[in-house]
Amino acid sequence: MQPAAALILAAQELARSRAPSERRRGLTALLHAAGEVSAGDAPAPLEPLGDLLAPIAAALDADTLAALPTADVDVARGLFELAHALPSGPGRELARGFVERRMLEGPCAMFVALARQKALAAPHELRGDPVRARLGLALAGRPAPDVGVAKLALALVSRRDGCHTWLELPSVRSLSERRMSARLLGRIARGLAASGARLASLRHHDEVEIVLRRLLADREPLVWRHAAVARGLLAEVHSPARREIEAALAPSATATEWRRGAASLAASIGHEPGWALATLERAIADGLLSRDAGVATAFTWGVAAGAERDPSAADRALTRVAELAPLAVAEGLASALALGPGGGFGADATARVRDELVRARASSGQARGVGALLTQLIGELGPEASPVVAAVERAVAAYHARGAREASDASDLALGLLTGGPALAALIDGSSSLDDEAALLPLRELERSVLEDGTLHDLHSLRDGGARATQLS
């Protein structure tokens, strides 16, 4: 049966329903059918419903909407389509309010699905700090194709106003906004690669390229590392990106170019491992890793993206770099492992780096803070996550599995562990120093969970329109 015919049939059955239980079942069936259709790139064909829309609107009330399945993404998508097709009135306003609550209160997959529909059909409705926090969480974690973040990214830049709001403007604002813009570029690249489309196929590809170059030139590693990863992922669908990476890793290039090129090269491993591994060996032979330790560090920032498509090639490359520059990759390795595919990815590199860190700590003597920092790095590469990192991971898992409120509640534990301990208080009042390993830990966790990643801030913003997050700003 054609989608339009199925929707008309479901609408007719709903219009004939009299008992509340029949209306609920009929409405659920209609919304589910509409939601399945709208999961693609086109809106559900509700125009043929015509005169049936008025009785459907009249059948909508708070009790009927409250009885809808709360975790069904197709039902929520269908209600979004229906709300925009209904005539003005109480039924339409109730439907729009329900959709907004499900988008903001539901789990990550619900937010991504409804935000994508708004980006395609009503981008002016997609705004504000609550939306920004949820988008930040969707963009920051390990890519999950089933959630559809890449499709959301493409939808956000599919219209001029959306591209301006979510990509261009943030790219010239605060550090956290520039980081989000750079992460969005990475998801755009993944979406293009998944569909086999070229960068030039985007309606606003010129704006995307301008933002990419702007963020690649950003002075903050927390920003340009994500832009460099995006360039590496784009190499599959944008031929100039591959030439740029090769030029950036030439011996005559600058250290700034080498580092960005290394991150891009690592991210590109997944789609063309032969070329990427050969280019890495050429950079090693040219002495780039010995001339600038930052090249090895930058490589770790992109290797998890490369491992999405070819974990074996990415693992070989990471091991090769770790063998040559173990101390330089130490700090970025923990993040690469967290974002990587698991299953033993990075095990050989981790063993090599931990051994070198242990040797360095033994020879560090009484150097101020060095021993404490090395101890922290060794712990970060161990089998057990720190209490703060583990609490943040549980909060992120709660957002994916249950919803925003549960994730925000779980983030309170991470924030309490981060700010409520005596070690941080002693460091602030001067009774402790960076030589103390216990005092250094909260600073490292503050850097990783708040300043570097931004995840804890976004988790804490999930409730009350982001007002709670001012504690972390």
Closest of 142, 310, 301, 308 to residue 227, by C-alpha: 301
Residue 385 has a pLDDT of: 75
Measured CA to CA, the distance from residue 396 to residue 400 in angstroms comes to 6
Measured CA to CA, the distance from residue 349 to residue 338 in angstroms comes to 14
Least confident of 12-21, 43-52, 184-193, 295-304: 43-52
- CA–chain centroid gap for 132, Å, is 12
pLDDT digits (tens, 9 = 90+) for 254-292: 999 999 999 999 999 999 899 999 999 999 999 999 999
Segment 246-252 long-range contacts (CB within 8 Å, at least 24 positions apart) = 246/279, 249/279, 249/282, 249/283, 249/286, 249/288, 250/286, 251/286, 251/287, 251/288
Q: How many Å from the N-terminal Cα to the C-terminal Cα in the chain?
A: 53
Would you place residue 471 in the very low, low, confident or very high pLDDT band (cuts 50, 70, 90)?
A: very low
Neighbours of 374 (CB within 10 A): 23
Residue 83 has a pLDDT of: 85
Neighbours of 252 (CB within 10 A): 7
pLDDT digits (tens, 9 = 90+) for 286-309: 999 999 999 999 999 999 999 999
Measured CA to CA, the distance from residue 250 to residue 69 in angstroms comes to 57
Average pLDDT over residues 452-462: 88
Q: Are 441 and 422 in contact (CB under 8 A)?
A: no
Q: Are 172 and 214 in contact (CB under 8 A)?
A: yes
On the question of pLDDT at 65 being above 90, the answer is: no
Residue 472 has a pLDDT of: 39
Neighbours of 472 (CB within 10 A): 20
Q: Are 410 and 462 in contact (CB under 8 A)?
A: no
